A and B are shown apart, each in its own frame.
Chain A
Amino acid sequence: AQSVTQLDSQVPVFEEAPVELRCNYSSSVSVYLFWYVQYPNQGLQLLLKYLSGSTLVKGINGFEAEFNKSQTSFHLRKPSVHISDTAEYFCAVSGVTGGGNKLTFGTGTQLKVEL
């Protein structure tokens, strides 16, 4: 079984500042890792994913994340945030065996971008 920890429930940041949302996972098998974003009253949208290969993954809206196997982390970063990035961000993990179907989500981090 896998688990995900998002330590920060809320992250306030000023517009145009950089941001990092932290995600740590636990698993006894190889994993796939994902970041999803949820805007108010909407479903989840995939930001980026790590399946294999390069540990630095680039996604939509200028976000990127780095897979660090030794630290079991997959932190999400953006060099300069915009007001429109205000949303809730979920990190998710699934085991490679079984095709990555069973996603386990973290509790989410609310990113609030202020002027």
Chain B
Amino acid sequence: DARVTQTPRHKVTEMGQEVTMRCQPILGHNTVFWYRQTMMQGLELLAYFRNRAPLDDSGMPKDRFSAEMPDATLATLKIQPSEPRDSAVYFCASGIRGETQYFGPGTRLLVL
């Protein structure tokens, strides 16, 4: 049963620290998405990649967030420096062309 995996599942850090979240998409999926879920804003698309190339990162705060796909099996989302308002659950999803997206279990981030 192929699944999207995310690490870490939980992260507590202090304001100003760098946070790196990792995602392993389902093998063979060529599209990877990053979402953020908060009580106030709900689910927001931050960025997505097709064949490792960024297609859209308009939902991502550019000054502190960055997303990359070093290879087809790994996507990363970094926050530097982190702020308390970044506290949220971050989801990675993958798919083929994106019509159906398969979500990972999420990384629950708390910035103190």
Interface residues of A (CB under 8 A from B): 32, 36, 41-46, 49, 51, 90, 94, 99-108
Contacts and interface: CB of A to CB of B under 8 A. Distances in A.
Residue of A32, A90, A99 contacting most chain B CB atoms (<10 Å): A99
Nearest to B48: A101
B105 A99 contact: no
Contacts of B100: 46, 49
Contacts of B102: 46
Given A90-B43, A101-B48, A43 B97 contact: no
B56 A102 contact: yes
Interface residues of B, number: 22
A22 B63 CA distance: 38
B42 interface: yes
B103 A101 contact: no
Given A101-B48, A102-B45, A105-B43, A43 B101 contact: no
